[in-house]
Amino acid sequence: MIFAAGLGTRLKPLTDKLPKAMAPFNGQPLLWHAIKSMKKAGAERIVVNVHHFAGTIIDYIQSVKWEADVVISDESDQLLDTGGGLLKAQSLFIPNKSIFIRNVDIITSTNVESFIYSHRSNKNDATLMVKKRSTSRYLVFDDNMQLCGWKNIKTGDEIKVREVDASVDLAFSGMHIVEPHVLDSLGEIRPFSIIQAYLELAKNKKVSGFRVADEEPWFDVGTIEKLKEAEKYINQGNKLK
């Protein structure tokens, strides 16, 4: 699933006239890059949720001949956040298949195949891609990379799933994999954060972190400045996924 329903407020004024998913990056919309990345990772069906300028994204998807089944989860009536958006799309996923989720505005060279392999080999209920980088909000993991908390270093807010002797604070990288049975425990469709749900699930399910190398290039291109920074990076001959 590609989360593409956001308002893209950090990309204003660009998103005054188009959705974030259609922001141009290296000659193609961000959504094009996200779909191609998922197809390369082996996705058979790709669900794209829409809200802001929903019609623009739907028209674009229908105008391109993709090498995968690309379907729409329409949130035009109500923006459901990441958790609600995932839950609304539940019936669109291929039954009994792991669900690989990414934000549309993430650009990285991380080996996605290794991420998927780690999730499967460890038999996780959910796996979150994380890395060491500066941010205001961190996920907290124990020595076995099991999710055990969350903190906001600006506000001092903190959530502890359980007490641990040692932990590491890592930043979420906008990609995660969840098993379909987990969605059955998320309740009714409503706006909520999937990260908050993972924290609750971590009390009795296997919610793990997949840590990528500190030096691994990663861009949240949710601002015009970051878009330009990522484009400059690949124009120097580097490859991103």
Q: Could you tell me if residue 241 is inside a domain?
A: no
Whether 5 shows a pLDDT value over 80: the answer reads yes
Q: Could you tell me if residue 202 is inside a domain?
A: yes
- Would you state the structure tokens that stand for residue 148, as one six-digit string? 């055990």
33 versus 234: which is more confidently predicted?
33
Total domain count, the chain: 1
Q: Could you tell me if residue 146 is inside a domain?
A: yes
Q: Could you tell me if residue 240 is inside a domain?
A: no
pLDDT one-digit tens code per residue, 99-142: 999 999 999 888 899 999 999 999 999 999 999 999 999 999 99
First-to-last C-alpha distance (Å) of the chain:
16
Residues 131, 109: Cα–Cα separation, whole Å: 13
Q: Could you tell me if residue 21 is inside a domain?
A: yes
CATH code of the domain in which 179 resides: 3.90.550.10
Q: Could you tell me if residue 110 is inside a domain?
A: yes
- How many CB atoms are located within 10 Å of the residue 144 CB? 11
- Write out the residue range of the structural domain in which residue 180 sits: 2-235
pLDDT one-digit tens code per residue, 155-188: 999 999 999 999 999 999 999 999 999 999 999 9
Residues 43, 48: Cα–Cα separation, whole Å: 13
Q: Could you tell me if residue 131 is inside a domain?
A: yes
The structure's pTM equals: 0.95
Whether 153 shows a pLDDT value over 80: the answer reads yes
